[in-house]
Structure 1
Amino acid sequence: MKVGLISAYPPAEGGVSSRMYWTAKYLGKKGVEVVVLTDSWSWEENYKEQIDFDELKYLQPKNVSVYQINPLEIKKKKQVGKRGNNETLLFSLGLEIDKKENPDIWYSYYLLPYGLVGYFLSKKTNKPWVLGHASSDLERLGHPDYVNLIDVVREADAVISRSEEMKLITDKVIEPDIQQICSLPEEFNIDRDYNERPIIGCIGKENYSKRWRELLESLEDTKYFRISFFCDKEGRRNLSKIIGLKKLDKEIKFNNFVPPWRMPEVYSKIDILYNGEKGFYISKHHPLVPLEGFASGCCNILSDELFEKYESIFDLEDEENVIKVDTLNKDKIKDTFHHLDKKQISEIGRKGKRMFYKKNDYEGYINFLFDIFEDLVR
């Protein structure tokens, strides 16, 4: 079986890109040929991962081939998600892929631009089309400017979703087990030690909802911890102003975004993973980073907002296998770190990891996708 995967993919930064990389790799391990159609090299430099030349081989694991639209044809934009006429270029390249690779089925993840491209390719090639979506897609479908996309969604042969709203839109919803979609591959099950002088990791695109500024202001008098940021260059500039004012330069290191296959190594060097997200405009957003933190044994600090989201999925116990904090309350943040030492960090990290792997079922997730594709291709 050959699957045409239309999605974000490394070097594009973000949870969707990472999920689709591991999905492609593990479908390939199962014997599925995966043909990736993506625009990731045309993404803004601020939101791309740093991939060294000798790492390019990792982009195409066994049974995976990647086709990229030419980034030189894209008019550069400054905002995430606005990348010129990508739909047209992706569709055109998709038609070439269909002639050359002849995939049996199209699988799009994310409605725009990838779902729309999958819809057109399905119609043009007369092949089944499966749609996966993120929480932001549901927000978009509720907007008057995008209401006609509902008709596009209804044309999918299957929609992978746990959303009640999506079930009202189409009767083609196939619901995955929540544990499967929150699972991770074995690469994150790493052996690790914990530093005598703990390192706090902050990962993602810097914005108001990350609450990193509150963290920096709370730790201004603390020399026990170090902080390692993996973020965009614009965010680095914004945070540098605060760091300079607070004279924290020696305690903080900035890093570029790194590709998915290097993330386990990143987590092995982080003791505390700070997930401060609070007040994010997408209410149902479930970021990938906290899951990777649990899987790799980091001591996960979650905002009270994220704690509530993941509490229904995992057996979270505050100060046992995770730490919950109001990330808008600087006194609470300061008090949390004031009481943390290496022993507590390692205990919470190890307990969080055990909790995660009690329910981890990445093989089940891959089999779930495989069965959907196989049923539609028959």
Structure 2
Amino acid sequence: MRVLLLGKIPPIQGGVSRSTWLAACDFLDAGHSIEVISNADAMDYGFRQMTTASDKELEVFRKRGGVIHNLESVPPHSYIPWSSPFLSQMLGAGIASIRRAAPDVIVGWYLEPYGVAASILGKMFNVPVILRHAGSDIGRLRNVADLGNAYDAFLSEAAAVITGKSAQTDEILREAGVKPHAMFKVKGRALHRSFFEESDDFDLHELADRSEEWFSHYGFDEDLYRKLIEWNRAALDNDEPAIGTYGKIAEVKGTYNIIDAIDSLAGRGVKVSYRALWSATPKRFAHAFRYLSAKKNLRGRSMILPPLAPWRVPAFIKSCQGVAFLENRFPISFHTPQVPREVIACASPLILSGEIYEKVYFGSQLVDRINVLKVEDPQEPAQLEAAIAELLASPELRKCLIHHARALSRILEARTPVADPIVEIAEGLLQNDDRTKAVA
């Protein structure tokens, strides 16, 4: 089977990029040929992962026969009013790919612009299309009337639409006109092998050095850039236990709550530091860093790095004494982040907001102070400070969390498909099999 996939892949940051990349590898593992069209190299630095010379995964993918076509960058303001012409570029690259070798199926992963481009190409060349949505496309973008009309038209015509098990997404897709036989409710795949390998591949000095050049491309003003570099250098030799966070930053992500909590604890003499991989636009990053750098107790105790490639995330998690995921009051209720599962897989103590404690699919298997530390409301400073302080002060609690997190992860991963279900769904479409074993 020949697959043409349009979507985000590394070095684009985020969970969709990670999942799309792993699915592309799964198609190769299953013996299929695949070409990926992405705008990864055309992304601004605020949306990129920081890569290093030892990040060889994309190169390995190509050596195995996978093809990656990265769109070239178009100089800003090449026309007015300006916006990146990613949709037209995706279509152009897709047309060229199909003329070289016709695919058996076209995949669009995330609706804007990838799913839209995949749908147009499928209609142009009469090729079945598989669409896979996330939370923000059907939960936020679809609420813009002009976008929603387009998305609904393409969703209703797709040969397959892959979704999760949320009743809300089910309702949205039915409202969009997705045919019942075309809707596939699936679980995601198993975590990347790096989450289960012993690794000491987290050299803080090397990453800090690399980040200095990386941050120079962000578009920060010179004063903030210099302050950020000096701030990170001051923390390089700190050996106090680190509480970590990674991913997008925002108030609803608990970014400012964790900063306040660690600053307060450090001010009371608690040995603690903060280590983070922040993903944000330059404006949002600068705002959060100015907030952080105003905390005098955190100078020499906090380091902020860019997001790393997904196969490097496990080493970051394991470098921390505990990792916090404090999403709260998030506007898309069916958003289901994977960070808690990743932290548990690394057998690292997880500090989790009450909202996500209830939301994750394995919430019924979470037990506060046994395999997770629950903070009901991260916006209540005393709750978050108490959880961090207890974790750092109690070796017994830490051992308990590590032991039971490891056991829970074994159960979760044993029940999860080794490969992404999209592979089996695509194979089933070609075999005219309406339902496959990938359907939960």
Asked if residue 94 in structure 1 is aligned to residue 94 in structure 2, the reply is yes
SS at match of 2:360: helix
CA distance in 1, matches of 2:60, 2:245: 28
SS at match of 2:103: coil
Residue of structure 1 in register with 2:288 after alignment: 239
CA contact (8 A) 1:200 1:227 kept: yes
| TM-score scaled by length of structure 1 | 0.89
Are residues 44 and 366 of structure 1, via their aligned partners in 2, closer, same or farther at CA, if it must alter by over 3 Å?
A: same
Instruction: Report how many residues are paired.
Output: 370
SS at match of 1:147: helix
Residue of structure 2 in register with 1:375 after alignment: 428
Match of 1:159 among 154, 158, 161: 161
Are residues 264 and 119 of structure 1, via their aligned partners in 2, closer, same or farther at CA, if it must alter by over 3 Å?
A: same
1:97-152 CA-partner distances (Å, limit 9, x unpaired): 11234322111111110110010110112111101101222223344232312111
Match of 2:384 among 321, 329, 333: 333
CA distance in 1, matches of 2:299, 2:87: 43
Are residues 298 and 13 of structure 1, via their aligned partners in 2, closer, same or farther at CA, if it must alter by over 3 Å?
A: same
State the Cα distance separating 1:316 from its structure 2 match. Answer: 0.9
Unaligned runs of 5+ in 1: 77-81
- Letter aligned with residue 227 of structure 1: Y
State the Cα distance separating 1:377 from its structure 2 match. Answer: 2.4
CA distance in 2, matches of 1:373, 1:182: 15
Are residues 321 and 54 of structure 1, via their aligned partners in 2, closer, same or farther at CA, if it must alter by over 3 Å?
A: closer
CA contact (8 A) 1:10 1:59 kept: no
Asked if residue 284 in structure 1 is aligned to residue 334 in structure 2, the reply is yes
Residue of structure 1 in register with 2:178 after alignment: 170
SS at match of 1:8: coil
Unaligned runs of 5+ in 2: 201-237, 432-440
Of 217-226 and 246-255, deviating more is: 217-226
CA contact (8 A) 1:231 1:254 kept: yes
Asked if residue 261 in structure 1 is aligned to residue 311 in structure 2, the reply is yes
Are residues 152 and 230 of structure 1, via their aligned partners in 2, closer, same or farther at CA, if it must alter by over 3 Å?
A: same
Of 67-76 and 290-299, deviating more is: 67-76
Matching of residues 176-325 of structure 1 within 5 Å: 176-177=185-186, 180-181=187-188, 183-191=190-198, 197-220=240-263, 221-222=265-266, 223-232=270-279, 234-247=283-296, 248-310=298-360, 315-325=365-375
CA distance in 1, matches of 2:44, 2:315: 25
Are residues 304 and 57 of structure 1, via their aligned partners in 2, closer, same or farther at CA, if it must alter by over 3 Å?
A: closer
Percent identity of equivalent pairs: 22
Matching of residues 57-68 of structure 1 within 5 Å: 58=58, 60-61=60-61, 62-68=64-70
Residue of structure 2 in register with 1:126 after alignment: 126
CA contact (8 A) 2:199 2:315 kept: no
Residue of structure 1 in register with 2:231 after alignment: none
Are residues 105 and 365 of structure 1, via their aligned partners in 2, closer, same or farther at CA, if it must alter by over 3 Å?
A: farther
Are residues 296 and 209 of structure 1, via their aligned partners in 2, closer, same or farther at CA, if it must alter by over 3 Å?
A: same
CA distance in 1, matches of 2:293, 2:70: 40
- Letter aligned with residue 243 of structure 1: L
| Structure 1 residue ranges, 4+ long, deviating more than 6 angstroms after superposition | none
1:5-63 CA-partner distances (Å, limit 9, x unpaired): 11111111111001111121232222222211111111221111112345355355233
CA contact (8 A) 1:294 1:352 kept: yes
Asked if residue 360 in structure 1 is aligned to residue 413 in structure 2, the reply is yes
CA distance in 1, matches of 2:60, 2:197: 23
CA distance in 2, matches of 1:64, 1:83: 30
Are residues 257 and 13 of structure 1, via their aligned partners in 2, closer, same or farther at CA, if it must alter by over 3 Å?
A: same
State the Cα distance separating 1:236 from its structure 2 match. Answer: 4.4
State the Cα distance separating 1:85 from its structure 2 match. Answer: 1.3
Are residues 190 and 362 of structure 1, via their aligned partners in 2, closer, same or farther at CA, if it must alter by over 3 Å?
A: farther
